[in-house]
Amino acid sequence: MSSNKLYESAFLKGQKVDAANFLTELLVKKYAVKKNIGVPNYPFWRKEYHEQNTDVVTELSHKYSMEIIAVRRLLRVFDPTVLAQFILKTTWYSLFYLKKEHQKDVIFELYKLQAAYADKLANTSAPAETSEVPQEVSQEPIKSCSMKTKVGLIGKL
């Protein structure tokens, strides 16, 4: 599920970014708050800023590049609104480095949120009541993930 909607960047004031970058910025910002690291107000993940090569910039840049991989994989299956809701309501500040048992918990929770979000969308866009029998709303089947992998569940989405 991809979205062309642009979001206000958490690091670059006045700039718009896509959903994957926005969600990754949320994760990196949560990580920085958890570790008491000051967050720079420039795109530290870009190569032209690697000259500043401080430990904080290197750590955040590596974190950003790893997290965006996991976020893009999750965006293939889940809506950006659902992922943002999950990131904001939980204490997780990483999706890339989760152990397999935690990945199962995260994916299960995301499926529950996705189902609730789909129900909410179906209810808000319901047609006005008429004397006709309402037709069922067709939904795309939810992709299942393979549990027999060493790579991890998020990597298989």
The two most distant CA atoms of the chain are separated, in Å, by 69
pLDDT surpasses 80 at 69? yes
Cα distances (Å, whole numbers) of residue 11 to 33, 39, 59, 134, 147:
14, 8, 16, 47, 36
74-113 pLDDT per residue, tens: 999 999 999 989 988 888 788 887 788 888 888 888 888 8
